[in-house]
Structure 1
Amino acid sequence: MDLEDLRVLMSIVKAKLMGKPLALCDIGDADGLTSAALFLIKYPNGLVTFAPPSKVQRGWLYRVVKWDFVADLPCPGKAVIRADHHRTNKPCAQFEYYDPEAPCSAYMAAKGLNLNSDPRAQGLVKVAIETDTANIVSREAEEIDMAARFSNYGEKVKLAKVLAQEGLGALSEPWVKAIVERGYKAKELMLKIADQIPIDNVVNVYFSTRVGSVSYRQLTIELQRRGAGMVNILVKLGSRTFRYYCGADKSRFDCTRIATALGGGGHPYAAGAQYKAPLFNPRQGFEEFIRVLKDKLNMNKLSLIEVVKDTNGVSVRRLQL
């Protein structure tokens, strides 16, 4: 059991001992964060926990309890209400607010929690739609996106609470501004990396080492904005653990074909996966990524950009595989 699981376990025990409603939301983005805030608008005494989809799909801990509310995640097994819009996530809750055509899970959460007339909820859903459709046009949406991506677990729980209480007015809080500023600094690094990556119809990127605080989803969006039709990013998180990110023009590509082959899921235009290589063959994690890309993209040879940290900061090199 790692630290993430331990936090969830403590929340489960606390909720059961105190008789409080319990929510489980995606840890990775603004859609999960705003969905958690919507839950707390409806249930101010509730407790929220966060987890990535890979944990919910594979972790036994998430299946031992009946969750009062689940959003932006695969169903952990037992739930009263689930709000979601991922085509690859199968419904299973007692009350499903699920629509693969919905712009974000928060949109469905507001329906499921009967909050469509609440002004705080309306503001949160608006920014969730902007962030989850990669069409950020407002300052509030950009700052919520930064706060969601660059907050740690404790900050995320605190953010959900203050967003529930103050709506988008929470962005004026000094400690929230500090998180957002952290995000803007990380964006500078992301743009520096993007400047070094040649744009092609399909761009494949491998982060073989940690290079700093980077939002890889932001990088997929930026490379698409510069002309890439599909962006596939593999990040080596540990000796055996790998994280896959995909962004694509869904009229020409389908991210879910690759993500599901790697054990994940999502949307045709944005998907991801997290997986582990075998204990005695850690390189298989990288080799599996290459094999799946070649298979699903019908390519015999693959161009890959490897991003590494060096004495000058961050540099890239092109590989032909």
Structure 2
Amino acid sequence: MDLEDLRALMSMIKAKLMNRPIALCDIGDADGLTSAALFLMKYPNGLVVFAPPSKVQRGWLYRLIEWDFVADLPCPGKAVIRADHHRTNKPCAKFEYYDPEAPCSAYMAAKGLNLNDLKAQDLVKVAIETDTANIVSREAEEIDMAARFSSYSEKIRLAKALAQGGLMALNEPWVKTIVERGYRAKELMLKIADQLPIDNVVNVYFSERVGSLSYRQLTIELQKRGAGMVNILVKLGSRTFRYYCGADKSRFDCTRIASALGGGGHPYAAGAQYKAPLLKPRQGLELFIKVLKDKLNMDKLSLVEVLNDTNGVSIRRLQV
């Protein structure tokens, strides 16, 4: 049991002992954060647990209880209300607010929780901007930064602050500190993007951690620069790998690759996390290459590896 699981277990026990409503929301982005804030608007005494899709999809722990509210995640087993828009997530709740054509899960969460005041509408609006990769407002950009670059405890505090004050919470000094952290990480992301070749399909492998980076932001940036599809594999540990995809859905479908790696998402944005065999960690990268070749119908791929070096980062081009 890791730290994420322990946090979840303690929150689950606390909620049940105190008879408080409990929510499970995606840990990774603004859609999950704003959905959590909407839940706390409806239930100010509620408890929120954040988790990644891979944990919920495969972890037995999240199946121990019936969740009062689940948003932006696969089915944990039992739930009263679930708000989602991912085509790859199967329904499970007593009351499903699910629409694969919806712009974000927060949009469905507001419906499921029957919230339509101005504060809730503002949160849904920024969630739509962030989840459709069409950020046009300062508030949406700052919420996106706060969601991506906050610690777990900061995410809990952010959800509570947004529930109480709406977007006015962005004026809090401690929130501004998190947002500034995100802007510094964005500078690093742009430096990496400047070094990567732009092709119709861009495949990138991070064989080691490179600072604090939002890989989803990198897929969006490379698409803005002309890539039709961006596939990023990040080595998180000796055997653990995380896949990120962004694509022009009129030409590509990210879910075909993400699903083959055990994940899911949308045609335009998807991801997965998986482990290589214990004695064959190299197979983590080999699986990524094999799935790309199979799903893209290509015999050979151009792959760019990103590495740390004394001057920041460097790249190495590979033919595989």
TM-score range, shorter chain: over 0.9
Q: CA deviation digits over 1:91-130, x for unaligned, max 9?
A: 11000000000000000000000002x1110000000000
What is residue 10 of structure 2 aligned with on the other side? 10
Query: Secondary structure of the residue that 2:271 maps to in structure 1?
Result: strand
Aligned Cα RMSD in Å? 0.3
CA distance in 2 between counterparts of 1:105 and 1:174 reads: 28
What corresponds to 1:139 in structure 2? 138
Aligned to 1:212: 211
Paired residue secondary structure (2:128): helix
- Cα distance in 2 for partners of 1:75, 1:113 equals 18
1:186 and 2:185 are equivalent in the alignment: yes
Equivalents in 1 of 2:46, 2:299: separation in Å? Answer: 52
Provide the secondary structure at the position in 2 that maps to 1:7. helix
Is the counterpart of residue 222 in structure 1 residue 221 in structure 2? Answer: yes
Between 310-319 and 220-229, the greater mean CA deviation after superposition: 310-319
Percentage of identical aligned residues: 87
Structure 2 distance, partners of 1:202, 1:220, is 11
The equivalent residue for 1:164 is: 163
State the match for 1:246 in structure 2. 245
State the aligned residue count. 320
- Which residue is equivalent to 1:285? 284
* 3-state SS of paired residue (2:70): strand
Determine helix, strand or coil for the equivalent of 2:68: strand
Tell me what 2:19 maps to. Answer: 19
Alignment-derived partner of residue 258 in structure 1: 257
Question: Structure 1, unaligned stretches of length 5 or more?
Answer: none
Name the aligned partner's letter for residue 13 of structure 2: V
Question: What are the Cα deviations for residues 68-110 of structure 1, in whole angstroms up to 9, with x where unaligned?
Answer: 0000000100000000000000011000000000000000000
Residue identity matched to 2:250: S
Distance, in Å, in 2 between the alignment partners of 1:235 and 1:33 is: 23
Tell me the residue number matched to 1:85: 85
Aligned counterparts of 1:317 and 1:288: Cα–Cα separation in 2: 20
3-state SS of the aligned residue for 2:170?
A: helix
How far apart are residue 312 of structure 1 and its match?
A: 1.0
1:35 shift after superposition: 0.0
Match of 1:76 in 2: 76
Q: Which amino acid aligns with 1:201?
A: N
SS at match of 1:25: strand
Partners in 1 of 2:164 and 2:312 — Cα distance? 41
Deviation at 1:303, TM superposition (A): 0.1
Aligned position for 1:63: 63
Structure 2: stretches of 5+ with no match in the other structure: none
Q: Which residue of 2 aligns with 1:305?
A: 304
Query: Separation in 2 of the partners of 1:86 and 1:170?
Result: 28
Other structure's SS at 2:230 match:
strand
Pairs within 5 Å for 1:86-165: 86-116=86-116, 118-165=117-164
- Cα distance in 1 for partners of 2:114, 2:51 equals 24
Q: Distance in 1 between matches of 2:18 and 2:161?
A: 21
Distance, in Å, in 2 between the alignment partners of 1:59 and 1:65 is: 13
Once the two structures are TM-superposed, the CA of residue 317 in structure 1 deviates from its matched residue by 1.0
Shift, 1:44, TM fit? 0.3
